[in-house]
């Protein structure tokens, strides 16, 4: 497969993420979302000869880009980052999750992620499997569509949008392109935040749903506890509130001592993580790359067993 470099990607929080992740140069690390390899390449540049980096990505274009890296310390898997759970227990020094979608995915009309370009309404990260958004919208009922748009897009006009999609389907056939969907949503959503396209929340919701992004994130976070060594780092960059809420709650839940109220003198249950804080992009980074403005990076460390027990 050839890689089209027409659509460039600027990695968000590049140095901050790698500095937070790497605790030793001979460690074994996971870049669970290779994308276009910005984080992976910087990690490799800082690893010693014994260091190793394994990357995951569902996107075939990303995998093709990763296979251009000839460094023997690096390998790539064409699968979702939920596959972390297949790795041996306590085998990893650090896990990096850079969530969301990359600029090449957004900017390539053929992928169907953006309302800014007309293209097939696909939105699958992995185009080798699963339903496209167009295929799902062709068969989903109003209630199903409304729930997805409301729950994953936090869209208050979700029911009206779902009704409009169903009506259009009955009158003229299913929605099949990004321009058709964006136009339909714009005709339904009468008010929107200044500077935001009316279709923004609907496109986000359908992308998250069709790729099971939140479910896979929850699986990957749980798997990270299994694979991280003591003092290993978990670094997660999220780009919208639904993702960040899951990450924040996960870290809080596993870094807070829990006491059994029925046995007030009993020892607290072990806490496997220690929260190390959060980082936002600098004003300079946001000015250079406006897509960084919503990013939040959260960092946690796996506690040694003697401290977690």
The per-residue pLDDT of the chain, averaged, comes to 90
Q: How confident is the model at residue 262 (pLDDT cuts 50, 70, 90)?
A: low
Exposed, middle or buried: residue 52 (CB in 10 Å: 0-12, 13-18, 19+)? middle
pTM of the model: 0.89
C-alpha torsion sign, points 117, 111, 18, 275: positive
Q: How many Cα atoms are found within 13 Å in the side-chain-facing hemisphere of 289? A: 16
Which domains does the chain show, CATH number per domain? Answer: 14-103+213-308 (3.40.50.150), 127-210 (1.10.150.170)
- Give per-residue pLDDT as tens, 56-90: 999 999 999 999 999 999 999 999 988 899 999 99
């Amino acid at each position: 497969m050839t890689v089209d470099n027409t659509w460039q990607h600027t990695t968000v929080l590049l140095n901050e993420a790698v500095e937070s992740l790497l605790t030793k140069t001979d460690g074994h690390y996971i870049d669970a979302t290779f994308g276009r390899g910005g984080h992976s390449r910087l990690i490799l540049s800082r690893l010693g000869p014994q260091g190793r980096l394994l990357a995951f990505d569902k996107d075939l274009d990303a995998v093709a880009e990763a296979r251009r890296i000839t460094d023997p310390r690096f390998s790539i898997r064409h699968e979702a980052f939920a596959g972390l759970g297949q790795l041996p227990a306590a085998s990893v020094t650090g896990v990096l999750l850079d969530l969301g979608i990359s600029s090449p995915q957004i900017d390539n009309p053929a992928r169907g992620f953006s309302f800014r370009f007309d293209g097939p309404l696909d939105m699958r990260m992995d185009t080798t499997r699963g339903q496209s958004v167009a295929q799902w919208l062709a068969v989903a009922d109003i209630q199903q569509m409304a729930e997805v748009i409301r729950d994953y897009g936090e869209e208050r006009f979700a029911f009206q949008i779902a009704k409009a999609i169903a009506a259009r389907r009955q009158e003229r056939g299913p929605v099949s392109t990004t321009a058709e969907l964006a136009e339909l949503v714009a005709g339904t959503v009468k008010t929107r935040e200044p500077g935001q396209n009316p279709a923004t929340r609907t496109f986000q919701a359908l992308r998250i749903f069709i790729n099971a992004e939140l479910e896979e994130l929850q699986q990957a976070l749980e798997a990270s506890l299994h694979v991280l060594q003591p003092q290993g780092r978990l670094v997660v960059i999220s780009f919208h509130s639904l993702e960040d809420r899951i990450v924040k709650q996960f870290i809080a839940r596993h870094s807070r001592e829990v006491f059994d109220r029925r046995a007030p003198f009993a020892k607290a249950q072990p806490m496997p993580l220690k929260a190390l804080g959060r980082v936002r992009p600098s004003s300079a980074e946001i000015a250079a790359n406006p897509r960084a403005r919503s990013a939040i990076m959260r960092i946690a460390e796996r506690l040694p067993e003697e401290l977690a027990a």
